[in-house]
Amino acid sequence: MITLTEIIGLPLLGAATLMVFKTILPRRTAGIWATLLIGVAFALSVAATVHLAALPAGHRVVTGSLFTWTTGFGPSIAWRFYLDPLAAVWILIITGVGFLIHVYSNGYMGDDPDVGRYFAELNLFIFSMLLLVLAGNLLILLIGWALVGLSSYLLIGFWYERASAVRAAKKALVVNTVGDVGILIGIVLLYQHFGTLSYPGLFSALQHAAPGSAFFTWVAILLYIGAMAKSAQFPLHIWLADAMEGPTPVSALIHAATMVTAGVYFMARLYPLLHLAPGVAAAIAAIGAFTALFAATVAVFQRDIKRALAYSTVSQLGYMFLAVGIGAYAAGVFHFVTHAFFKALLFLAAGSVIHALSGEQDMQKMGGLFRKMPVTAVSFLVATLAISGIPGFAGYFSKEAILGQALLEGHALLWAVGAFTAGLTAFYMFRVFSLTFLGKPRDEKLHQHAHEAPLVMTIPVVILGALCIFGDVLGGWLNSWLGPTFDTYAGGATYAIRSGPVWGTAVAVLLALIGIGAAIVLYVRQGKGAYAGNERGAGVLGLQAWGSDAVWRWAAVVPFQALGDGVRRVNVGFVRALDAVAGEVAAFSDDLRPIETGQIRRYVLAMMMGMVVVLAYFLVRM
């Protein structure tokens, strides 16, 4: 299929051309060229989706293949592409939101000396993400998966002379490699067992398997580790907050709207496998709920606006995994869509604020920006209401879809955690909003120079704001649209969104309102600053994500470093010992040297004596 390769190929073309010509291109053209390509890719994605919709419901799959990737040891593995309704949702968001963020970047990064490299890497990311989503077998998915991690690493470390950014980039790459290895071992097991990695082949084979065997449990765990690393699920969440070292549009696109949801896509894609590993599915839901709560408690204590939003992303991803784990696939996908809108908006608006305050990210230095930046502030408020789950906004519908289905499926505890987290979410988001836009300016100097962002930055923000309000209509559409994906194989029976009991919704909304009220009282009425509550005691721990970095440091980093130091020492001793042996041999040969006199008489004498000994031996034996 021509269209699929074109959708994937355009961003690759952009990345390649920009990499080659970045030094000779005029300043503004790099951004325009990159943005244009993503715009065309979006148009093609829409065309492909329309084409897909025109197919009969039972055959809504478009495939394509290029050439053999490898062969020689069994059935060959080819470059295959696969577009179905699930993938279509993702490519629309990747190219659509991606396009808006490209537009925004023209304003945000326009003055950076390395703008060519920035857009090259941003295009590389879009290419990788499309490859991941449109892959037709797990191996191509893994290639896209790792290239997504690569682009993330490159963009986190974009300002490569900043030591903290460099460290964050390394951390992101290594933690993502943990996930890549999980997927690698998982797909190797699947190939060993089924001799294929293509979705249709694999899923058809899974139809005949009985649920609950150890093999499927292990494979599901390994693949879930991959999703965990990419989507920052506890305990592999540690890289995402540090990833905020990258430029803010990157945080919006990669570390909020698209890349981190790859794990959700992956798990939804693998629903026939999760069906065979019900224990793993339950664990995914439980870890998702825990991650949602855990990250929300951390977000409450953050001082840096981007880190607060990052933990909020982790928390929202927890909701999506909760949905996937309980089989509420459409609800999970719906939340991915609305989250892409409101979280991209939050980051872009935060970027406008940071831009206006010449790079300041500490909320202690903000406050009272509503008047100065009204468009940004109103948009931010819309997204904040959406993420808080206030009725009428898109986030409300998708979150309620997840929580309602949790109740319907009988997961009362998961629901309770989710509802409580919803209250926390409303609290910390209004804390961020109040600290940034309301109250009195806490840093007059910065405040004076603040100004509204240029149009190229505000227009994408406003469009996303509109989507936050009207995105709720997508829920019903997704329900029927995703049908062909989840009806094909066993395991998708509960995919569709169903409304839960009214009392559940009421409780969740009430908690959210309490959270909002508490935030307004604390941060507007009482005028508390961003450091209130996180300067001593438990707050310090909360600021540091309850010590998860320290735990990882002592559990993994230090042991490996100690092992390395130990082995190094052993190795030095080993090479020395080898030289010592060689020295002994040399000394021994020096000792033997006097025997070699060069006098034939003595050699002949020695030979004679030897022969006598040998003869004597045989004579005695006879």
The residues that touch other proteins, with contacts defined as CB under 8 A, are 67-76, 139, 142-143, 145-147, 150, 153, 157, 160-163, 166, 169-170, 173-174, 177-178, 180-182, 184-185, 188-189, 191-192, 560-561, 563-565, 567-568, 571, 574-575, 578-579, 582
- Quick one: three-class SS letters along 313-324? HHHHHHHHHHHH
Residue nearer to other proteins on the CB measure, 277 or 457: 277
Alpha-carbon span 119 to 105, nearest angstrom: 9
Please give the structure tokens belonging to residue 353.
């604020």
Residue nearer to other proteins on the CB measure, 555 or 582: 582
Alpha-carbon span 349 to 251, nearest angstrom: 12
Residues 8/134, Cβ–Cβ less than 8 Å: yes
Write the DSSP assignment of 186-199 as a string of letters: HHHHHHHHHS--BH
Residue nearer to other proteins on the CB measure, 557 or 611: 557
Residue nearer to other proteins on the CB measure, 244 or 337: 244
Residue 192: CB minimum distance to other proteins, A: 5
Residues 312/305, Cβ–Cβ less than 8 Å: no
Residue 383: CB minimum distance to other proteins, A: 34
Residues 418/504, Cβ–Cβ less than 8 Å: no
Residue nearer to other proteins on the CB measure, 157 or 325: 157
CA distances from 511 to 342, 388, 390, 427, 603 (A): 20, 10, 11, 9, 104
Q: What does the chain come to in residues?
A: 622
Residue nearer to other proteins on the CB measure, 220 or 328: 220
The residues facing 137 across adjacent strands are: 198
Alpha-carbon span 99 to 94, nearest angstrom: 8
Residue 188: CB minimum distance to other proteins, A: 5
Residue nearer to other proteins on the CB measure, 180 or 400: 180
Residue 341: CB minimum distance to other proteins, A: 31
Cis check for the bond before 75: say yes or no (omega within 30 of 0).
no
Residue nearer to other proteins on the CB measure, 19 or 541: 19
Alpha-carbon span 145 to 266, nearest angstrom: 10
Please give the structure tokens belonging to residue 25.
């291109």
Residue nearer to other proteins on the CB measure, 186 or 484: 186
Residue nearer to other proteins on the CB measure, 440 or 593: 593
Residue 233: CB minimum distance to other proteins, A: 17
Residue 69: CB minimum distance to other proteins, A: 6
Cα 615 from chain centroid (whole Å): 82
Burial class, 32, CB count within 10 angstroms (exposed 0-12 / middle 13-18 / buried 19+)? middle
Residue 216: CB minimum distance to other proteins, A: 15
Residue 40: CB minimum distance to other proteins, A: 23
The alpha carbon torsion through 49, 472, 37, 155 (nearest 10 deg) reads: -120
Residue 6: CB minimum distance to other proteins, A: 18
Residue nearer to other proteins on the CB measure, 162 or 525: 162
Write the DSSP assignment of 411-464 as a string of letters: -HHHHHHHHHHHHHHHHHHHHHHHHHHSS--S-HHHHHH--PPPHHHHHHHHHH
Residue 154: CB minimum distance to other proteins, A: 9
Alpha-carbon span 483 to 91, nearest angstrom: 18
Cα 582 from chain centroid (whole Å): 53
Alpha-carbon span 250 to 105, nearest angstrom: 9
H helix or E strand, kind and range, residue 605: helix 600-621
Residue 613: CB minimum distance to other proteins, A: 25
CA distances from 538 to 306, 543, 547 (A): 21, 9, 11
Residue 304: CB minimum distance to other proteins, A: 21
Residue nearer to other proteins on the CB measure, 101 or 236: 236
**23: number of Cβ within 10 Å:** 7
